[in-house]
Structure 1
Amino acid sequence: MFVGKGGVGKTTLACARAMSCARAGQRILVASLDQAHSLGDALGFRFAHDAGTVPGITQVVPGLEVIELDSLALLEDRFGTVAALLGADPGHDHGLDLSALDPAEITGLPGVQELLMLVEIAQYAAEDEWDAIVLDCPPTADMLRIVTAPETMLGYLDRVWPPHQRMMSSIGTDIRRAVLAATVQRIVAAVTEVRDLLADTERTSARLITLAERVSVAESARVRSATALLGLRLDAVVVNKVLAPVPPPGPEPQHPAVRWYLNRCAEQFDVIAGLRRSMPEIPVLVAGHTGAEPVGIGPLAALSYVVAEDAVGSESELDDRVRLDSGGVVRDDPGSAPPHDTDTAASGVRLESGAGLQSVYAMRIHLPVADPATLRLGRVEDDLIVGADGVRRRLRLAPVLRRCTVSTAELDNGYLVIRFRPDPQEWPQ
């Protein structure tokens, strides 16, 4: 998936990268999650969006297919079937009438649109029809909300209607309640598949698209922190629209336009150098400025050669992976290993010192926080709530830590270290 700066710029990079993969003989699907429909703008044609129908897949060039996902059309298609099932037993009235709801109203509920699109993508990935699926994602803030939607929904469902209660309802005599329980269980299974796909660092990774601007780089640092907390593997940062260097100027007076260009180049190169220093473990790739905006199949095909050689092609080991960039995701053989260390919130727990009630357990979470002042910690029953740089995640504690209380927490060289001590009221005597 391509995440980062929104707009057609990131979308053109996603399309160009997909075209370079297709030219190499791979089967590629580019799917747009961006409701602004920048994918059609970049390709130079308009997708059919007929009311009440789910848009289909369109072949652009041999080996490359595209689709723009319409969340409202998906909801109308999925919700209509569920409402018909739940309304099949008019003899019982339990105060539940989903047929009275309009799909357009449901899309206003937080996370519904995002989940529908992600479930659709997971189904495409399960079909094994393509070598890679590239997602054209919305801007950063929206994309982070999409990534958190599966885990958030599963957590809410488990607390509002626990699994054991759903199971009892599914085998009860109340037909409508049984149908509802079965439907919810299908939803849970689909959302769990999405969550597991996003968390699978061997199949899914994120590629951050940014600009050579200090404000954009500051945003990139927060996104890096967010992806680590959310368990996404950030495999590269692509700096887009970088000006080409020019020979040193001669002794003659410079035209103002030349001075502006040289100063802008120096600023961009300084920003890129700073970005590489701040993320030494993540490849920082450069995509040069193409001049005229590449819109349409022909210009994108030309850009695909530049992208393959200058920006992404230098990392051949990344060719067949699932990518999460502001423009795309690519899926490959799940048995392959990541090309370099993952940048995720995978946590480890170890006994640091002591024994019994004097034990000290340490939990380490990889979390390169951009602004330490935003770090927040909380605990709800057996879950630890971690927030940083505008993102919050609920993490299930290891069994041994559920009988402990938090003692201290500190940031240590890109890691959040939380120490626990046994709770005398809960610890086995």
Structure 2
Amino acid sequence: MRTVLVTGPGGAGRTTVAAATALATARSGGRTLLLSADPLDTLLGTPPGPGPADPAWIRDGLWAARVDSGDHFRTELLALQERVTPALDLLGARPLREEELTELPGSGQFALLHALRRAAEGDWDVLVVDLPPPREALATLALPEQLRRYLRRLLPRERQAARALRPMMAQLAGVPMPAQWLYDMAAHRDAELAAVQSVIEDRGTTLRLVAEPGPAGEEALRLARAGAALYGLAVDPLVPNRLLPQDSADPWLATLAAQQRKSLDAWRGTGTHPADALRPVTHLGRDPHGPDDLALLDTAAGGLAVDPDGPAGTGPREEPGRVEDRLAEDGLLVWCLPLPGVAKSELTLVRRDDELVLTVGPFRRIVPLPSVLRRCTVAGAALTDGLLRVRFTPDPALWPRSN
């Protein structure tokens, strides 16, 4: 299955492009599901289904479902409350009722990940997901890996005592041992997070960036590409949206069109967005209404459809951890990570025990070092031509010695 995650700066038309991508893919023969937390009634002409388990059929092999963060929050909180009811009863707490629950900030991220996991379990050729703006979208996609790390640190499985030994362990330690249900719940959550993480990291999953050409979108795109590289996400061809006609006789429109053309030329000239990796979408002169308008956007773009069997992304996905062996040359091992468009001033790198803590602007990732590098010391780092190279020297105290 191919999964296309669509994001872009606020107001760039990412939801419209996501819908047009899904419809074009369905019309080309791929059984397609569109997921979005935004209203889709106007774009699709039909209300979406209440969730990925019950999507609404639109037309031409296209189904659509809504990500309902409020419903997901209430369901999860009530399930947790039921789980800890004995403890709440001991405290004399009054249980919360569904009608009094109001979702909290951040619940939308978990609802989106839950919907992504459920949708991936379906029989789809292509899954198109309408994400929030890039900064929030990338933070959401990074959550499964981060939360699984927290669970391993706070509730390590190997430290849980057998049920028969728990009273004795509590007496010896002088403090109550964590209840078994806590470990069971952590294991359950870890399995759920692992499932959605596997979807995000799958070779068939790509990020499709949408932006309206102009100065406002350039910085957002640069950071989005840097964040995608940091988290190991492959990137689809860029979609410049709402392009104005270049031959307008109106001076005002002609000026705006010239500004857009300048931005497109700059994107092509940087090498980050090569000419064949652009899928421009022409402005219809109105807000799109219904599938027929979405089909016009696909025609104007020269093809937004996703090939379920085609290559995923504009280049090979490179995960953090590729190591160059240069021991024979200068006694170094080099750890490499592509970071296109990142400036040295916004990059920080810290080694913490057997991990590297990488920060790029607003994004952070903690990467476990390969076993061979855990027995080395950091000798230096350099960011050149969009590639971060961290140099390691074998630690004589830990490295095997030859006789």
Using structure 2 for the length normalisation, give the TM-score: 0.84
The 5 A counterparts of 1:26-175 are 26-32=30-36, 34=37, 37-40=38-41, 42-43=43-44, 56-87=54-85, 107-108=104-105, 113-128=108-123, 130-166=124-160, 168=161
Q: Which has the higher contact order (CA 8 A, sep 6+)?
A: 1
For residue 100 of structure 1, report the CA deviation from its aligned partner.
Answer: 7.0
Given that residues 16 and 301 in structure 1 are in contact (C-alpha distance below 8 angstroms), is that contact kept between their aligned partners in structure 2? Answer: no
**Displacement of 1:337:** 4.6
**What do the CA deviations read for 1:207-239 (whole angstroms, capped 9, x no partner)?**
100011022122211111110111110011100
After superposition, what is the alpha-carbon deviation per residue over 1:119-138, rounded to whole angstroms, capped at 9, x for unaligned? 3211221222x221111111
Query: Paired residue for 1:209?
Result: 210
Alpha-carbon deviation of 1:344?
4.4
**1:289 partner SS:** coil
Could you say what secondary structure the match of 1:287 adopts? coil
Q: Distance in 1 between matches of 2:391 and 2:219?
A: 30
RMSD between aligned residues: 3.4
1:190 aligns with 2:185: no
1:419 to 383, 386, 391: 391
CA contact (8 A) 2:234 2:317 kept: yes
C-alpha distance in structure 1 between counterparts of 2:162 and 2:94, whole Å: 18
Give the % identical residues. 25
Aligned partner of 2:294 among 276, 283, 303: 303
Write the distance in 2 (CA, Å) between the matches of 1:338 and 1:224. 16
Query: Contact 1:197 / 1:204 at 8 angstroms: preserved in 2?
Result: yes
Distance 2:361 2:67 in 1: 29
Aligned position for 1:268:
260
Q: Name the stretch that deviates more: 20-29 or 219-228.
A: 20-29
Q: Which residue of 2 aligns with 1:349?
A: 323
Q: Is the contact between residue 351 and residue 362 of structure 1 (CA under 8 Å) also seen in structure 2?
A: yes
Q: Is this contact kept in 2: 1:87–1:97, CA < 8 A?
A: no
| Alpha-carbon distance, 1:204 to partner | 0.3
96 and 155 in structure 1: CA distance in 2 versus 1, 3 angstrom threshold: farther
Distance 2:201 2:132 in 1: 19
In structure 2, the residue corresponding to 1:212 is in which secondary structure?
A: coil
In the alignment, the residues of structure 2 paired with residue 209 and residue 353 of structure 1 have an alpha-carbon distance, to the nearest angstrom, of 43
Give the conservation status (yes or no) of the 8 Å contact 2:382–2:390.
yes
1:371 paired to 2:372: no
Match of 2:173 in 1: none
Offset at residue 403 of structure 1 (A): 1.6
What runs of 5+ residues in structure 1 fail to find an aligned partner?
248-256, 321-332
Give the SS at the match of 1:304.
Answer: helix
- Structure 2's unaligned 5+ residue stretches are 168-176
Question: How far off is 1:270 after superposition?
Answer: 1.4
| Cα displacement (A) at 1:372 | 2.2
Secondary structure of 1:288 counterpart: coil
CA contact (8 A) 2:49 2:56 kept: no
Q: What amino acid is aligned across from residue 360 of structure 1 in structure 2?
A: L
Deviation (angstroms), 1:347: 3.3
SS in structure 1 of the partner of residue 237 of structure 2:
strand
Contact 1:349 1:361 in 2 (8 A): yes
TM-superposition CA deviations, 1:34-66 (whole Å, max 9, x none): 4xx2434544666698xxx99952223352222
- Counterpart amino acid of 1:79? L
Q: Tell me what 2:170 maps to.
A: none
Partner AA of 1:262 in structure 2: A
SS state at 2:280 partner: strand
Give CA deviations for 1:53-99 in whole Å, capped at 9, x if unaligned: 999522233522222212231132233234323436899x6x89996
CA distance in 2, matches of 1:342, 1:16: 26
Q: Distance in 1 between matches of 2:71 and 2:376?
A: 48
CA distance in 1, matches of 2:390, 2:151: 28
What is the CA-CA distance between 1:370 and the residue it aligns to? 3.2
Cα-to-partner distance string for 1:289-318 (whole Å, 9 max, x where unaligned): 1101113x2xx32332441x33251x77x4
Quote the Cα distance in structure 2 between the aligned partners of 1:306 and 1:79: 41
Which residue identity is paired with 2:190? Answer: V
Structure 1 residue 388 displacement after superposition: 1.2
SS at match of 1:286: coil
Structure 2 CA distance for aligned equivalents of residues 276 and 104 of structure 1 = 49
> Match for residue 172 of structure 2?
none
Whole-angstrom CA distance in 2 between matches of 1:192 and 1:212: 37
Q: Which residue of 2 aligns with 1:177?
A: 179
Asked if 1:9 is matched to 2:13, the reply is yes
